[in-house]
Chain A
Amino acid sequence: MTGKLIKHDLIAGARRMGNIYLAAFIACGAMLLSAFLKSGFLRFLCSAAVIVIAFIAVIVTFVSVVFGANKSLFGREGYLTQTLPVRTSSLIFSKWLTSSFWVLISYALVAVAFVGVFVYWTSENQDGAEIYDMIYQLLQGFGIGAESIYQKYLIVSAVIGLFNACIFVMFILFAITLSNIRPFHRLGSFGVILYLMLTVAVIQGATYGLESLCDVTLLIQESGITMLVDQAAISNAVQNGALTIGFTGVYFKAIVTVFLYILTVQLTETKINLK
């Protein structure tokens, strides 16, 4: 049943957000076609459109996640979803998974748009490789290590970024649920934003507090990636060209996300009144 829920939630997301991704696809096509034109202005216009549409896609995706989840779980569509013979945990899990999927797709669109536009503008005079070398030499000028370290750093940062996006989606689902139960429902749609901000603020504050108590760090070196808490060893490795990424927050947010998921399921099972 969870698989069927995921299938239908993905379809619902595609129906809600399909137009903006179609617009992005058309803009990319127009950008590629404009390469055959002599007009630099048209090429600029198409490239700018790709970037702007990619950013709009992120905003539209987040707005759709909020309104879609609210409507389908606690709005009038809730009369269908809440009467399906599925566990509430499956309902929430499906919403979280599919919403995260669309958020990640929108992030990927922004990344592809930037890389695509960069390649598009630099490929003609083949100065892309030169720019890349220039950036790398600039970083080496700061005394930072080998190319493989940057590659690993970028990959790990991207994975953590995507992980944070999925966590943020759970915060959104929790805020939506909270804004649909008594007495928190009084603030309406504004409540979703307020409870989301409060959730983020509390968890971010707790993360900073935890980091000062126990700073778990990912150390990225040529030889590999290691997890350390020994500050002296970390400083030593950094002096030898290693890069670091704080990991305490990742651990903590993962635990908080599981807790919020359980709490969201519990609140939905015991406190929800469909209007």
Chain B
Amino acid sequence: MAETEYAIKVRNLNKSYVKGRPVLEDVSFDIPEGKIVGLLGPNGCGKTTLLKILSGCIHDYSGKIIINGNPPGVVTKASTAFLPDSTYLADYFRTIDAIDYFNDFFYDFDKNKAMEFVQRFHLDPKQKIKTMSKGMQEKVQLLLVMSRKARLYLLDEPLGGVDPAARENILNLIMSNYAEKSTLMLSTHMVNDLESSFNHILILGHGHVLVNTSVDNVRKSGKSLEEVFKEVIGNDWEVD
């Protein structure tokens, strides 16, 4: 497979925040284009760090990363939509300001689509972000990301703080709005809820890639994703 046919190509990636305690250790994997990837693993296994590195928020690492044929930089940032697990919009922003900001910088941003989402979520475009509840802030951030026609979507725990009723709506919104032929990598602990959505899984444990395979391969083994998850994570803890 040619390098450009991989959405993500990672070789010998190492990252540690504290000397002697690696978060990611010699991580190598490839993700083909057009996949919906479940990034799974226990707390502290390096999922968020990996997504931050891929999105260009962490620069202090060693190893080689190729995203859609390019190393992380201006080109990859133009075609990568990242949803971090925390609020990142400025307090003084109103929803409409955030939409205009994205519209100014991202050529793949669809302002009309964003305004449709605003109505669908019953958000007031003139309400300041700082006066919104956490759930509303997350909706604003999600609508900004999903209004882009990016080649790679990186979503860090998008269903983390959401109640079960809203979870399904948000999941539908993600699955029905990400650009066709794009790659979507989504980190989560909710393996059961998302099993039917993924067609590829990447399981991290203790800074290593434990599983990198298609969901079809998992199904062929006759196991559910949760069973595979428990099996490999269990082994990972045993190693330690």
- A: residues with CB less than 8 A from B are 1, 4, 7-8, 12, 15-16, 72, 76-80, 82-87, 181-182, 268-274
With A12-B90, A269-B59 known to touch, is A79 a contact of B82 (CB < 8 Å)?
yes
In the bound assembly, the distance between CA atoms of A148 and B18 in angstroms comes to 62
Q: B57 is contacted by which of A1, A15, A79, A85 (Cβ under 8 Å)?
A: A79
Q: Which of B55, B56, B106 has the most CB of A within 10 A?
A: B56
Q: B104 is contacted by which of A8, A12, A274 (Cβ under 8 Å)?
A: A8
In the bound assembly, the distance between CA atoms of A4 and B57 in angstroms comes to 21
B88 near A77 with CB under 8 A, answer: yes
Query: Would you list the 6 A-B pairs with minimal beta carbon distance, nearest first?
Result: A85-B78, A79-B88, A15-B92, A274-B57, A85-B77, A79-B84
Interface string of B72-91 (1 = CB under 8 A from A): 00110110101010111110
The answer to whether the Cβ of B60 comes within 8 Å of any Cβ in the partner chain is yes
With A15-B92, A76-B87, A76-B88 known to touch, is A82 a contact of B57 (CB < 8 Å)?
yes
In the bound assembly, the distance between CA atoms of A247 and B82 in angstroms comes to 48
Number of interface residues of B (CB under 8 A): 25
A274 near B90 with CB under 8 A, answer: no
In the bound assembly, the distance between CA atoms of A83 and B87 in angstroms comes to 14
- Closest residue to B82 on the A side, CB-wise? A83
With A83-B55, A83-B77, A85-B106 known to touch, is A272 a contact of B88 (CB < 8 Å)?
no
Q: Can you name 5 A-B residue pairings with CB atoms under 8 Å?
A: A76-B86, A85-B105, A269-B59, A272-B58, A273-B59
B56 near A182 with CB under 8 A, answer: no
B105 near A4 with CB under 8 A, answer: yes
The answer to whether the Cβ of B101 comes within 8 Å of any Cβ in the partner chain is yes
A273 near B80 with CB under 8 A, answer: no
In the bound assembly, the distance between CA atoms of A59 and B151 in angstroms comes to 45
* In the complex, chain B residues whose CB is within 8 Å of the CB of A181: 60
B104 near A4 with CB under 8 A, answer: yes
Q: Which of B57, B60, B75, B92 has the most CB of A within 10 A?
A: B57
In the bound assembly, the distance between CA atoms of A222 and B60 in angstroms comes to 57
Q: Which of A76, A79, A271, A274 has the most CB of B within 10 A?
A: A79
In the bound assembly, the distance between CA atoms of A181 and B60 in angstroms comes to 9
A83 near B90 with CB under 8 A, answer: no
* In the complex, chain B residues whose CB is within 8 Å of the CB of A80: 88-90, 101
Q: Which of A1, A84, A86, A270 has the most CB of B within 10 A?
A: A84
* In the complex, chain A residues whose CB is within 8 Å of the CB of B58: 272-274
Q: A270 is contacted by which of B56, B59, B86, B105 (Cβ under 8 Å)?
A: B59
B87 near A1 with CB under 8 A, answer: no
* In the complex, chain A residues whose CB is within 8 Å of the CB of B90: 12, 72, 77, 80
Q: Which of A8, A12, A76, A83 has the most CB of B within 10 A?
A: A83
With A4-B104, A12-B90, A76-B88 known to touch, is A82 a contact of B60 (CB < 8 Å)?
no
* In the complex, chain A residues whose CB is within 8 Å of the CB of B86: 76, 79
Q: A8 is contacted by which of B52, B82, B101 (Cβ under 8 Å)?
A: B101
* In the complex, chain B residues whose CB is within 8 Å of the CB of A15: 92
- Closest residue to A274 on the B side, CB-wise? B57
With A4-B104, A4-B105, A85-B74 known to touch, is A77 a contact of B89 (CB < 8 Å)?
yes
A268 near B59 with CB under 8 A, answer: yes
- Closest residue to B15 on the A side, CB-wise? A273
In the bound assembly, the distance between CA atoms of A101 and B13 in angstroms comes to 41
* In the complex, chain B residues whose CB is within 8 Å of the CB of A182: 60
- Closest residue to B98 on the A side, CB-wise? A80
In the bound assembly, the distance between CA atoms of A138 and B174 in angstroms comes to 77
Q: Nearest Cβ in chain B — how far from A72, in angstroms?
A: 7
* In the complex, chain B residues whose CB is within 8 Å of the CB of A84: 77, 105
The answer to whether the Cβ of B121 comes within 8 Å of any Cβ in the partner chain is no
Q: Nearest Cβ in chain A — how far from B128, in angstroms?
A: 10
A12 near B60 with CB under 8 A, answer: no
B77 near A273 with CB under 8 A, answer: no
